[in-house]
Chain A
Amino acid sequence: MYQKLVLNLTFIFIIAHSTALKAEVDQSHIETEYRKFKKTFQSILELSIQNKQGFLDQFSKLYSDLINQQKDFEKLEGETLTPQGNQMAFDLEVLRPLQTLADNKANVDSCQEADRMQSFNIANPDSETNESKSPVSKIDDFINKAIKSICSK
């Protein structure tokens, strides 16, 4: 009887320990995947906007990398909604004006649409986080410059 109890307790301990270990592994996976996404995101912001076609081609490639990285990340997340996953979804939306340009080879209509989207984004600041100093305002500056540079040529 006593032996059976010890056996059961040992079994429960092993299960609990392995679950905690899995959560730690998942958390570290989540951080790794998020950093990977952010690295790709950052490389978009470092693209040169001097060459219109070159920029659009490189952007398209990196943007599809971001989409795939987000998909992999969400598989890791399961039904949990992590702040990292929320940030990734937001980052993809921030880049959407440029994606519109890239998908349509920066034709007149897509230039208008990208400009409209970006105007909407800037007109709706997140006042609680003091948008003028937040990272997203610097990204918005980059996107503004990219739209102006690409669409003026």
Chain B
Amino acid sequence: MEISLFSKQIRLLLIAYSFLPTHLYANTAPQCISGSSKNLHLAGQFNDAKKNKIVSQILQKYKITTPQTNESATLADCPTCHANAENTKSLSDMAAKLLPQDNLQIDPECISAAHKIKVPTTYLNCPSETRKKPPQNECMTEEMIKYQSAAITEALKCVKSETQFPISINSIFEMYTNESGFKPNYSSGAGTGLGQLTSIFVKDVHQKGRGLETLKKVATSSSSHCENFKTIAGQDISNKPNFEQKCKFISYGEGFERNILYTLIGLNTLWSKDLEPVMRSYINAHKDHHDMRSIKELVTLNAYGAGGPRSARAAAQRLLRLKPEKFLENLTQPMVTTEGHNLTRYILRIKEKQNQLIDLFPVNATVNFKKLGSSACIKNSF
């Protein structure tokens, strides 16, 4: 009697379950690589953004997931369309196999570790732009972390295809680790998003004779890597984004990607307009020296941090009389002034963050960060 009552209850439950809309149970709770599964706002925002053209194309190009498009949602309501959809899917799978696929340049394991770095200030929920106080441990899924790696890789390849961009991907990894710990919605009073952009920095990207030239190059680029970023660049040239609307520099689907693009264009401007002129004859004199690449990278990164271009230029100007190996050695040491400024503070801060990162890798990590530093995080460097 009891058994039959129990089985009746189960049957009722099963019937009720079958009437539930599929999306309520088909999508199980996301698996958080880092952060808490109770804090799903960012993961939800990313999931919504997968319908966005930029996000879906990058996900597809880097073989991260099958993009969830509006088209597939419509097909679900149309059983007779399934046969055609299957054919289309197999054709696109074939195309994906035949076309060259891009690889993630930054190991997701490293981004995941960097995400564990605690940052002290507030976070923004998008699109509402409501502020949240720490501690915030937003859930980051494997897909989100891989997407971050893909978007950075793609943007860097795009900017490199149009400029003499001086910074390698491992230094970019170090910089984002320092700026936000790869938390796209981290927003301090002055800095916003992944690259902690400031209003003056964004203004510089749009300024004639400064970053605008590069923004225009991206907007009209024929490089396949600029395919997604040229959309952002093109629309921003005709309608400059308002920096007060922070989500335009945070949200997945345009804001997060804009943040990366602007970081890279801004860095390129700092190098080409502020630093390269100071160093031009030195570079020509030592162009074949093996340390020149690292010198250019660090000098440019130094201008990105607190202290800005004037500290970076002062440091570079001081070191020009030294041989490249000594230049590089001193650039990674404190260069203190009599009034208490440290001309290389940002470089040292980046190194400190990299040291903190060592302990944030899991015991079973495949990346040998302790031994190799950020270069262990880079795969298929270009």
Listed in ascending order, the chain A residues whose CB lies under 8 Å from chain B are 34, 74, 79, 81, 83-87, 89-90, 92-94, 96, 113, 116-117, 119-121, 123-129, 134-136
**CB distance A89 to B204 under 8 Å?**
no
Q: How far is the CB of A63 from chain B (nearest CB, A)?
A: 15
A116 near B307 with CB under 8 A, answer no
B279 is an interface residue with CB less than 8 A from chain A: no
Q: Across the interface, do A86 and B343 meet the contact criterion of CB distance under 8 Å?
A: yes
Q: B315 to chain A: which residues have CB within 8 Å?
A: 89
* Interface membership of B207, Cβ < 8 A: yes
Given the known A-B contacts A126-B307, A136-B339, are A79 and B326 also in contact in the complex, defined by CB atoms under 8 Å?
A: yes
Most chain B CB within a 10 A radius of its CB, from A74, A90, A134: A90
Contact A90 B310 (CB under 8 A): yes
Which of B35-43, B90-98, B113-121, B330-338 has 4 or more CB atoms under 8 Å from chain A? B330-338
CA distance A93 to B307 in the complex (A): 11
Could you tell me the distance between the alpha carbons of A74 and B320 in the complex, rounded to whole angstroms? Answer: 11
A93 adjacent to B313 (CB under 8 Å): yes
Question: Among B201, B204, B308, B336, which residue has its beta carbon within 8 angstroms of that of A121?
Answer: B308
Specify which chain A residues have a CB less than 8 angstroms from the CB of B317 in the assembled complex: 89, 92-93
**Cβ contacts under 8 Å, B207 to chain A:** 116
The A/B interface has a contact count, at CB < 8 Å, of 95
Task: Evaluate contact between A90 and B343: CB separation under 8 angstroms.
Answer: yes
User: From B346, which residue of chain A is reached at the shortest CB distance?
Assistant: A124
Give 16 CB contacts A-B under 8 Å.
A74-B321, A79-B322, A81-B319, A83-B338, A86-B336, A87-B337, A90-B341, A92-B317, A120-B204, A120-B310, A121-B310, A123-B199, A124-B309, A126-B306, A126-B307, A136-B341
**Whole-angstrom CA separation of A121 from B313 in the bound complex:** 12
Q: Which residue of B lies closest to A79 (CB)?
A: B322
Which 9 residue pairs across A and B have the least CB separation, nearest first? Answer: A124-B308, A87-B337, A93-B310, A89-B314, A123-B200, A86-B337, A87-B338, A90-B314, A93-B314
CA distance A81 to B334 in the complex (A): 11
Any A CB within 8 A of the CB of B60: no
Known: A123-B198, A134-B339. A81 touches B308 (CB 8 A): no
Q: How far does the alpha carbon of A85 sit from the alpha carbon of B340 in the complex, in Å?
A: 13
Q: Flag if B337 contacts A128 (CB, 8 Å).
A: no
Query: Contact between B338 and A96 (Cβ–Cβ < 8 Å)?
Result: no
B345 proximal to A (CB < 8 A): yes
Q: Determine the distance from Cα of A88 to Cα of B377 in the docked complex, in whole angstroms.
A: 39
- Quick check: B306 and A96 within 8 Å, CB to CB? no
Asked if residues A81 and B335 are in contact (CB atoms below 8 Å), the reply is yes
CB atoms of B309 and A79 under 8 A apart: no
Residues of the A chain whose Cβ atoms lie less than 8 Å from the Cβ of B345: 126, 128
For window 270-323 of B, CB contacts with A under 8 Å fall at: 305-311, 313-315, 317-319, 321-322
User: What residue in chain B is nearest A90 (Cβ atoms)?
Assistant: B314
What separation, in Å, do the CA atoms of A125 and B336 have in the docked complex? 16
Residue pair A116, B204 in contact (C-beta under 8 Å): yes
B73 within 8 A of A: no
Contacts of A124 in B (CB 8 A): 305-311
Please name all residues of chain B whose beta carbon is closer than 8 Å to the beta carbon of A125 when the two chains form the complex: 306
* B327-367 interface bits toward A, Cβ cutoff 8 Å, 1 = contact, 0 = none: 00010000111111111010000000000000000000000
